Structure 1
Amino acid sequence: LFVGQAAANTAASADFDGNGEVGVPDFLLFIATFGSRQGDEKYEARYDLDGNGEIGVPDFLIFLDFFGQKVPPSSQLAVCDRTGAVRDSIVALAPVSTCGDVTAAHLAAIDSLRVNSASLTALKAGDFSGLTGLTKLNLFNNMLSSLPDGLFDDLQALTWLHLGRNQLTSIPSEVVKQTNLTSLWLWGNQLSGPVPVSELVKLSNLDTLSLSSNQFSGEIPVELTNLTNLTYLSLGGNQFSGSIPASELTKLSNLEALHLWGNQLSGPIPASELIKLPNLMVLNLSNNQLTGGIPTELGNLTNLQRLQLDRNTLSGEIPVELGNLSNLQRLYLYSNQLTGGIPIELGNLTNLQRLRLERNQLTGGIPIELGSLSNLTYLNLSRNQLSGGIPIELGNLTNLTYLNLGVNQLSGGIPIELGNLTNLASLAIWDNDLSGPIPVGFGNLTNLVRLSFGGNQLSGPLPVELGNLINLTYMTFWNNQLTGMIPPELGNLTNLTYLSLGDNALSGEIPQSLTGLMKLETFSFGGEGGLCAPSDPNIQMWLDGIENAHGPTCAPPGQREALVALYNATDGANWTNNTNWLTDNDISSWYGVEVSDASVTGLKLWDNNLTGEIPTELGNLSNLEKLEFDRNALSGSIPTELGNLTTLKVLALNNNALTGQIPTELGNLSNLEELNLHDNELSGTIPTELGNLSSLKALNIWNNQLSGEIPTELSNLSNLTRLNLHTNQFSGSIPTELGNLSNLEELTLYRNQLTGEIPAELGNLNNLRSLKLFGNELSGPVPVELGNLSNLEVMELVGNKLSGALPQSLTMLTKLERFNFGGEGGLCAPLDAAFQTWLQGIEDANGPTCLQ
């Protein structure tokens, strides 16, 4: 038997001092441990040559077989020839300066070697040769996908091996050979498929096994329970399915930590079996698909320090029996479907450090008994349906660093006692029904990094003491009822990256001191109180540098006054809609008022029952782009001051009762694109100055009492597409210059007193779709050039004194859909077949045919 065991060893295994020969020094080292057993202080596995856990006579006889033998030099890879990171780690532990100076004795004396986080992708077979005394090897966080054969041949003493966070796809055979291992860490690799239990059970001395964060699948193998020495078992973060094999797990009577988190385990928690593990200190079943209630029997696991059942679909109430777990330090029940109240018995867990009950459906109040948990550092009760007030007793939890009560139905004031929690780094009570002021004592919470009070009904000012919280990076007070001005002291919060003050009743201007917040990435402000950013260049430049900045710029002087004048002059009290007008709200919230960069850019009050006269003060709105007062009952004249609005693009005053002349000053509106003055009682002539409106696209002044000749200056409006002057009292001839309006699509001059012939130049209007000249006193023949209007769809010539036969060129108007002609002058359609065929092809054509 002993000879056989000796054959399994080599001379190197008996060369304890590593000097290349098995001799008296090795004997003296061996005899010093003679008689010891595994667990004794002087026991060392390398002297246990037969591996039976006891250093005795059989080991001595094996040693004698090698006594006097020399260790072949080739049995060890020279240290300088080993993988670089291994070589460097060995040299760092040996009392030498270079790899060439490392002796076999130095190698044999090393008991712990760390080659972790070294970016290793491969190892050499001899990298660990000669390390006969090594008990602990750390290869964590490398990129190893496999291990070479023979890598651990000299590591008979190895008991602790960490291969976590590598790229292993299978458990290397070299690992399974290490039967003395007590701790094996393989988490964070790429191991998949079923667990190779037939190999792992060979490691019968294991007390720690971590296979978490891999891709193992199938059911949890019950064969693992043959590793009866296990005290720590982690299978979390895999793809295990099925139920928890609790009855088999009871074989692991020494188990202290069980990690099954992050799998696809289903069914109820088998508490009746789990309570047979009396030494259990950690039970982590989080992030599975477990259902049913939390078993009351878990209250019998009195050694538990961590209970994590979060992120399942557990339902029912929290058992009061959990209050018996007097050693508990962490209780995680969040993200389930738990209902009912928070048991007051949880106040008995005096060792509790972290309590997470968020994202459930818990109701009722927050128990005052939680204020007894003096060791608590983390408390999260958010996203439930908790009601009532915040207990003042929470102010006793002076070790708290995190408190989140957000998204509940809590009411009442914020207890000033929370100002005692000076270790807090995060305080969140957002989205509740809390009211009253912000306690000034919160200025003492100088360790705060995050402060979230948004979505409540808090009132009063922002305390200047908040400026003491210099570690803050995140602060929100959005959607409350806060008033007053922003304290300049907030400029001290130079670490802020997120600040939300919007939807309050804060007033005044943003203080200059905030420009010191150079790390700010998000800033929202504004609300009913009129809080705004001054147009000061420094503040505007600062705001421009913030990635997400939202809020109004303070209106330039005179704007609000102009709007007030409009309200008063047009009987604003009786408007159809006057929402927010004359309030302290930002003017951008006033109905019909559009604001950009703090300036009024639009007034859209059409069909809103405005009466009275347009006030001259509107001429002060120097950035106005749209003025739309159409379909009201405005009277009086158009103020000449509107000519000051040089940025105006749309002026719509149509469908009112305006009188007087069109102001010549409107010719100053060089950006005007649309002028709608139709359906009023305007008189006088068209100002020649309107010919200066180079951007104008639509001139609509029909249905007034305008007279005089059509100004030739209108031919300067090169962008014009619509010219509608009908139903007035214009006289004289149609200006030939109108033929220059190459973009014109619509020309309506009907129901006036125009005379003379139709200008041949109108045939140049290639884009014209509608030509309406009826109801005038036009005479002469229809110009043949009108046949060039290939896009024409409507032509109305009736009710004039035009004469002669229609020109044959009109048959080129293939898009014509409506054509009315005739009148006192005898205008008629020729008899020839081609013309008549064309005429009959028009959907709506009316007019006489020539007699011959």
Structure 2
Amino acid sequence: MELQKPGLENLIEKLTNLKMLHLNQVNISSSIPHIFMNLSSLTELSLEECELQGEFPAKIFQLPNLQMLNVQHNLDLIGNFPEFHESNPLQELRLGGTSFTGEIPNSIGNLRSLSHMDIHNCKFTGTIPSSLGNLTKITSLYLSQNKFSGDLSTLLGNLSSLEKLGISSYDFSMQNSLSLSWISRHSRLTYLSISEINLVGEIPSWLMNLTQLQFLNMGNNQLTGPIPYWLMNHNQLSSLFLQSNQLTGHIPSQIRNLTKLMQLGLSSNQFKGSIPASILELKNLEYLDLQGNNLSGVVDLHLFLYELKFLKVLILSSNSLSLITKTNIQPEVQHLGFIGLASCNLNEFPNFLHNLEKLEVLDLSFNKIAGQIPKWFLNHSVDSLLHLNLSYNLLTGFQYHPDFLLWTRLRTLDLRSNKFRGPLPVPPLSTHFYLVSHNNLIGEIPPLICNLSQLEIFDLSYNNLSGRLPQCLGNLSYTLLMLNLQNNKFCGSIPSTFVSGTNLMWIDLSHNELQGRIPRSLANCRMLEFLDLGNNQISDVFPSWLGTLPELQVLILHTNGFWGVIKDPKTNSAFPKLRVIDLSGNRFTGNLPWKYFQSWNAMKVETASGLTYMQELMVVDILSGVDERVYLFQSLYLCSVEINTKGIELIYGKISNLLTAIIFSNNRFEEEIPESVADLRGLHFLRLSNNSLSGPIPPSMGKLVALESLDLSNNRLSGQIPPELAQITFLAFFNVSNNHLTGPIPQGKQFATFENDSYNGNPGLCRKPLSKQCESFQPSQKQDSDSHQSLFEIYLEIILIGYASGLIVGAVLGNTFAK
């Protein structure tokens, strides 16, 4: 439902005596009007998940009769706590999943009637005030996923009425679980979430005293050892989450004692052995997640589902299980909505899928399912299916090829790394993520694709698609975050319809047959971080106007027909965040663009603060739980980049903020290497080979302390190799072959690892590793030699760089789908 006419303000402006207003999950998409502060009779205000925005009026907290305030799960709603008076009647305060900031005031202790307080997943900071201990009536307290600091043990020791406590995701580190032993004094506690607080060691024994626990979440810590036997005596538990730890051993068969268990999450641990048959005795089980362990054995899936009739979520992915899917037992699985069976050795579609009318998520990736997708499956769950992942199988197509797929609510369709043939399937209009890379699709992009107005990720890479790119791809950029069409046979010009206000962050059109010029409408893509147009037939001058894009980090134009002199930038802030630029294999002339070097500030940072990766785009993010949401399933779509080096492409499976590179090889640059290159102290790759550069190697290049690869080969450089280069301690690859260099080769440190091939074609060089001694060697005319790097040298370079650096280098082909 949507609230449009009248709007929220018009709706309530005359309701001066309003006492209760509940509009949960109604799309309001506006700020909260200040007129609410006049509703003195209001006792309950609930606007949960309404897409509220703007600043929350602080005086609403102070309405004289307000007992319940709920605005949780409105991410764009900001605000701060006011000061609270002793007369304040608030009993329930729910702000979880908003963007409230600031510190909690000490006057929070004046809310003597407060029984429920939920501020999880906000942006509160500072210490938690000790006055919270004055809230003698509070039974439920959720403080997780904020930026609090300090010790909780003394703070919460006197909350005798506490029934629910969530304290996950803190900035401070709980290195010893004994520091939380004070919790055991609250024997009436029914809800406990202590996830993501860096707990180490075995599951703490003080939990034995909490016999009334109904909900326990200790996920995302560093717990080790087996599940203790005494935990199986907590027979009031309805939810048990121990995911993402380092727990070992077997899943205990005594789990049958937890007869009230409805949710069991043991994923991403190191459990081994078979799934105990006693799990089938948990007749109330609705949610079971065992993915990412070392479980083995045979599972009769039909028997599993026949016994657990109330299952809504079943995730067995990424173990060593073998599933039996053919049996006479027909389970009643009308509740099942989420199935994760990735890497389960399946070779066909499970036939129990026939009976699922409420299926929302199906993950059958990384199996051995071959042949065509059956017709019955295409007509299945038409009105319910949201996310479908069939990637990394042996599928060849559909039993019949409809004009478009029929799932009316589908958001994610992942068909990557199969053997699909024929034309590109058109997904439903509801699709947000469409991934079909690494198949054998042919033909053109059908015009119906232009109707996908909600598309965010569009990946057709590594197919045999051809024809011209439809102009509508530019129009899709309102919603599109990533466009990846690399390694196809597309021809013609790049669409020129990229609109202002676009959200595009990633464009990869490399390895096609595209022609013409780069469209100037790309300047509208103000969010663009990555642009790869390499290996095409584009003929243009250097697109200096791209320097106005404030977020651009990677620009790859190699192996095209770019030409001419790179003129000086018009401003001192061109390409402010650029970290990787590859112009190799073109026809650029003139001097190296030294004024650009002065403006590339991102390459001047010697050490980046914290390792991060570009474009970890969420494909599926499904949550469960009531007050504190528990992640059921997450998938990341990770993007890659290719660094071209003399015919060998180094492919980075993930692009870290540590990767910086200038690749200008195989052009017609001339004159000297500018001194300004020495300012790029964060540079890791510098490739200037196969040009017409002359003059000396600047001694100031010794300041490039982060450099791992330096290739100056096949130029006309003269003079000595500066001894200052020996100061570059991370240098793993060095090549100055086929120049006019003379004098002694620097000795020691990294130079002790370089072989003769690094110096060939420089008759005037002497000292190790060459056999010629400086005192007896007389320079002679430069001899002809092969200008191409040997295959052995290239492989050695890759090995050395991978060994010496912290970067991920190697043949990681394509994009990575991480679970």
Tell me the TM-score normalized by structure 1.
0.53
Opposite residue 140 of structure 1, the aligned amino acid is S
Out of 344-353 and 505-514, give the one that drifted further. Answer: 505-514
What's the offset of the Cα at 1:185?
Answer: 0.7
5+ unaligned residues in a row in structure 1: which ranges? 1-86, 558-587, 602-621, 627-645, 650-671, 675-693, 697-716, 724-852
Aligned twin of 2:372: 317
For residues 93 and 271 of structure 1, the distance between their equivalents in structure 2, rounded to whole angstroms, comes to 58
Does residue 531 in structure 1 map to residue 531 in structure 2? no
CA distance in 2, matches of 1:191, 1:381: 36
| Residue identity opposite 2:693 in structure 1 | D
Q: What's the offset of the Cα at 1:140?
A: 1.3
The offset of 1:193, in angstroms, is 2.6
Q: Tell me the secondary structure at the aligned position of residue 293 of structure 1.
A: coil
Matched, 1:336 2:393: yes
Q: Deviations over 1:71-122 (max 9, x none)?
A: xxxxxxxxxxxxxxxx979963642899989897x41254434355453322
Deviations 1:280-326 (A, max 9, x none): 100001133x1322245524312110000111222121222222112
Q: Which residue of 2 aligns with 1:107?
A: 160
Q: Distance in 2 between matches of 1:295 and 1:508?
A: 60
> What do residues 111-154 of structure 1 show as CA deviations (whole Å, max 9, x unaligned)?
4343554533223796235535432111212314235555443x
- In the aligned structure 2, how far is the partner of 1:179 from the partner of 1:414? 61
Contact 1:533/1:551 (CA < 8 Å) preserved in 2? Answer: no
The secondary structure found in structure 1 opposite 2:279 is: helix
Change (3 A) 1:479 1:101: closer
Change in CA separation of 1:307 and 1:445 when aligned onto 2, cut-off 3 Å: farther
What code does the residue aligned with 1:231 have?
E
Identify the structure with the greater helix proportion.
Answer: 1
| Matches for 1:276-355 after TM superposition, within 5 Å | 276-288=332-344, 290-295=345-350, 297-323=352-378, 324-326=380-382, 327-341=384-398, 344=401, 347-355=405-413
Alpha-carbon distance in 2 for matches of 1:148, 1:393 = 58
Select the residue among 286, 290, 295 that pairs with 1:235. 290
**2:519 maps to what in 1?**
463
Measured in 1, the distance between the counterparts of 2:181 and 2:740 equals 83
CA contact (8 A) 2:416 2:439 kept: yes
Give yes or no for the alignment of 1:595 onto 2:691: yes
Give distance in 2, aligned partners of 1:101 and 1:556: 70
CA contact (8 A) 1:107 1:132 kept: no
Question: What SS class does the counterpart of residue 405 from structure 2 fall into?
Answer: helix
The answer for the alignment partner of 1:669 in structure 2 is none
**Which of 122, 130, 153 is 2:177 aligned to?**
122
Indicate conservation of the 8 Å contact 1:341/1:365, yes or no.
no
Structure 2 match to 1:357? 415
Q: Cα distance, 1:344 vs. partner?
A: 4.1
Aligned pair in 2 of structure 1 residues 443, 394: CA closer, same or farther (>3 Å)?
same
Q: How many angstroms does 1:485 deviate by?
A: 1.9
- Confirm whether residue 375 of structure 1 aligns to residue 375 of structure 2: no
Match of 1:490, SS state, is helix
Shift of 1:448: 1.0
- C-alpha change, 1:268 and 1:486, in structure 2 (3 Å) is farther
Instruction: Please tell me whether Structure 1 or Structure 2 has the larger radius of gyration of its CA atoms.
Output: 1
Question: Could you tell me whether the CA contact under 8 Å between 2:569 and 2:596 is conserved in 1?
Answer: no
**Structure 1 counterpart of 2:754:** none
Asked if residue 366 in structure 1 is aligned to residue 461 in structure 2, the reply is no
Cα distance, 1:342 vs. partner?
8.2
**Equivalent of residue 497 in structure 1, options 541, 549, 553:** 553
Matched, 1:431 2:477: no
Q: Which runs of 5+ in 2 are unaligned?
A: 1-126, 139-151, 605-659, 672-686, 698-714, 720-738, 743-760, 767-774, 782-819
Q: CA deviation at 1:509?
A: 2.5
Paired position in structure 2 for 1:252: 308
Q: Secondary structure at the match of 2:497?
A: helix
Distance 1:402 1:531, change over 3 A: same
Other-structure match for 1:263: 319
In 2, Cα distance between equivalents of 1:252 and 1:524: 56
Tell me the SS of whatever aligns to 2:278.
helix
- Kept in 1, the 8 Å contact 2:395–2:418? The answer is yes
Selected match of 2:278 from 215, 223, 247: 223
Deviation sequence 1:775-806 (CA, Å, 0-9, x none): xxxxxxxxxxxxxxxxxxxxxxxxxxxxxxxx
Could you tell me which residue of structure 2 aligns to residue 211 of structure 1?
A: 266
Cα shift at 1:535: 4.0
Q: Highest relative contact order (Cα 8 Å, sep 6+), 1 or 2?
A: 2
Kept in 2: contact 1:461–1:483 (CA 8 A): yes
Give the counterpart of 2:249 among 178, 193, 216.
Answer: 193
Are the structure 2 counterparts of residues 103 and 511 from structure 1 closer, same or farther at C-alpha, using a change threshold of 3 Å?
A: closer
Measured at CA, do residues 296 and 223 of structure 1 come closer, stay the same or move farther in structure 2, by a change above 3 Å?
closer
Q: What is the distance in 2 between the residues matched to 1:395 and 1:364?
A: 20
1:404 CA displacement: 0.3
Residue in 1 that maps onto 2:132: 92
Task: Provide the rounded CA distance (Å) in 1 between the counterparts of 2:762 and 2:415.
Answer: 62
Residues of 2 paired with 1:648 and 1:174: CA distance? 75
What is the CA distance between 1:556 and its match in structure 2? 5.2
Give the distance between the partners of 1:361 and 1:430, measured in 2 at CA: 18
Q: For residues 115 and 311 of structure 1, do their structure 2 counterparts lie closer, same or farther at Cα, with a shift above 3 Å needed? A: closer
Are the aligned partners of 1:553 and 1:598 in contact in 2 as well (CA < 8 Å)?
Answer: no
Amino acid in the other structure paired with 1:114: I
CA–CA separation in structure 1 for the residues paired with 2:161 and 2:420: 61
CA contact (8 A) 2:130 2:155 kept: no
Distance 1:722 1:101 in 2: 82
Q: What is the rounded CA distance, in whole Å, between the counterparts of 1:90 and 1:673 in structure 2?
A: 74
Evaluate the alpha carbon distance shift between residue 363 and residue 719 of structure 1 in structure 2; reply closer, same or farther with a 3 A threshold: closer
> Deviations along 1:642-672, whole A, 9 cap, x unmatched?
xxxx9699xxxxxxxxxxxxxxxxxxxxxx9
1:473 alignment partner in structure 2 = 529
Hey, what does 1:161 align to over in structure 2?
216
Where does 1:5-16 land on structure 2 (aligned, <5 Å)?
none
Q: Residues 208, 262 of structure 1: CA spacing in aligned structure 2 closer, same or farther, 3 A cutoff?
A: same
Matches of 2:778 and 2:208, distance apart in 1: 90
Looking at secondary structure, tell me which structure has more strand per residue. Answer: 2
1:387-426 mapped onto 2 (5 Å cutoff): 387-421=442-476, 422-426=478-482
CA RMSD in angstroms, aligned pairs only: 4.1
Provide closer, same or farther for how the CA distance between residues 89 and 383 of structure 1 changes in structure 2, counting only shifts above 3 A: farther
Structure 2 counterpart of 1:377, which letter?
A: H
Tell me the distance in 2 between the aligned counterparts of 1:260 and 1:140: 22
Count of residues in correspondence between the two structures: 499
Relative to 1, partners in 2 of residues 1:133 and 1:648: Cα closer, same or farther, differing over 3 Å?
A: closer
CA separation of 1:395 and 1:274: change in aligned 2, threshold 3 A: farther
With over 3 angstroms needed to count, the CA separation of the structure-2 counterparts of 1:532 and 1:91, relative to structure 1, is farther
Deviation at 1:231, TM superposition (A): 0.4
Measure, in 2, the Cα distance between the counterparts of 1:555 and 1:296. 64
Q: Check conservation: 2:589, 2:670, Cα contact below 8 A.
A: no
8 Å Cα contact 1:533-1:539 kept in structure 2: no
Work out the CA distance in 2 between the residues paired with 1:364 and 1:114. 53
Q: Give the secondary structure class of the aligned counterpart of 2:534.
A: coil
Q: Report deviation, 1:504.
A: 1.0
Where do residues 346-745 of structure 1 align in structure 2 (5 Å cutoff)? 347-368=405-426, 370=427, 373-421=428-476, 422-444=478-500, 446-513=502-569, 516-527=574-585, 530-532=587-589, 534-535=591-592, 537-539=594-596, 547-551=661-665, 554-555=668-669, 595-597=691-693, 719=777
- C-alpha distance in 1 between matches for 2:128 and 2:780: 86
Q: Matches of 1:367 and 1:695 in 2, distance apart?
A: 61
